[in-house]
Structure 1
Amino acid sequence: MTGRLIDGHIHIENGDYTLDWIQQFVDRAVEMELDEIRLLEHNYMFKEFEPMYDTVRSCSDFVNNWFIRKACKKSYEQYLDLIDKVRSKQYPVSIKFGLEVCYFKDYEELIKEQTKDKGFDFLLGSIHFVDNFAFDHTAQLWEGIDVDKIYRDYFEDSIDLARSKVFDGLGHPDSIKLFGHRPSFDLADYYERLAIALSDSNMYADQNSGAQRRCPDTAPLGMDKELIKALRRHNVKIITSSDAHRPEDVGYKIKELMKYGGNTNVDCYDIQTKA
């Protein structure tokens, strides 16, 4: 195993925006022998992004109730202030800050407007809704769903995300497999097209252990090996991540992910947000 140990996808939403809260993530990173952590928030935590969810909320009582329960609970200004405070301190690990943004093609301009010149080190674009279907919320929502169609639309949306050139990375590129559903067709062509789009946009792929942590019985660790091969063929950078939402999950199976194609080319990758 070679390369720096990075956890590139850590959420801090379950605590207050204080240096004491950040220190808990740092302490765990040191314990896990990490060199770098990348902290972020879901964009839906801030009211500035609320309009993006109007359609998915109107199409599903489940999503609407989830949004009311979870979203718009944090202050965007306070998050940005926290970033400045952390950057004024010295820590034993490198810390970068960003935002994980749900990708909706019709809201690319809003995303650019709300993230431009905010001082983020990176923007991570992710697919969490396909045809207004919240595929990664709970397994019960898959009942009666056309799996093949959802897979096709998921990867078409992922390719559009990559081509948008709004983001620096693609979060958990094949998390559609979270609950064990698989299409009846070969995904090789989609893997190839996605790898080409990421390469053309100079984006990295998020080699994420979060799905396996959430659903160990149905989700394998990290990306499909054929997808990793496609990414390597097109020199797409790969960065390991835990998708932690609490300090104790920081570094979850990062070392194992490194064995399956993690943190490629990161030493020469200077992160610069595209928005």
Structure 2
Amino acid sequence: MSAASRFDRGHTDDLMSFLAAGPSPYHAVAETAERLEKAGFRQVAETDAWDGTHGGRYVLRGGAIVAWYVPEGAEPHTPFHIVGAHTDSPSLRVKPRPDSGAHGWRQVAVEIYGGPLLNSWLDRDLGLAGRLTLRDGSSVLVNVDRPLLRVPQLAIHLDRSVGAEGLKLDKQRHMQPVWGLGDDVLEGDLIAFLEQEAGLAAGSVAGWDLMAHPVEPPAYLGRDRELVAGPRMDNLLSVHAGAAALAAVATSGAPLTRIPVLAAFDHEENGSQSDT
């Protein structure tokens, strides 16, 4: 039996597209909202009065989204079915003063976000994605989805003990990616580059929430391609499943006895202490 006949790839194909479209929580939320819009959902603002009429709605805040579908005939006492997930993943986050470097290398200053396996970030092609906040108070998403950064591992000739003692990584000294050559560290260099990438005027960016991401796409593995590999499975897999299920019930026309809800929050990886 061929792999095509053994496996229905409809859901996993869609999951892989979702993973690729979500290099940051902000992009994941935007992708989720777009998919729900296609299923007939509409956005409501936190500050507006919400009605309980039939239909799908969602509310956004930063990298978080809460969406629900009110079925026909729902009463005030109709119970909820809630799927909880989070949009963030362990990563390398850009610091407030990102321009760094030493010994002829230009680097981007990053901090460890969540609990990533540090060695898994070594010698990988990394892009940069997230949200830029402008001086007028608005914000835009940016995604440099090409090899831009790299956290290089020392050659064995410079780290003779690694074979016997194992790899030892210091979060502050060893995890700062390189992105160019030069002895001069120019303050504002990275953000000026991202302004150009996003088509913004020079000096228009006032703040940022940016993170590195591997640029290799999700893929099927194995002889029969029955294994799926991809970044940010923790926890975009659950966000995708919840959004797909919510869109399916909203368009199925089947009677519902509960109000289905998707609650996908940001910042779970560092303790869920934010307002998103």
TM-score by length of 1: 0.24
Larger helix proportion of the pair: 1
Decide which structure has the larger Cα Rg and report it: 2
Output the TM-score relative to the length of structure 2: 0.24
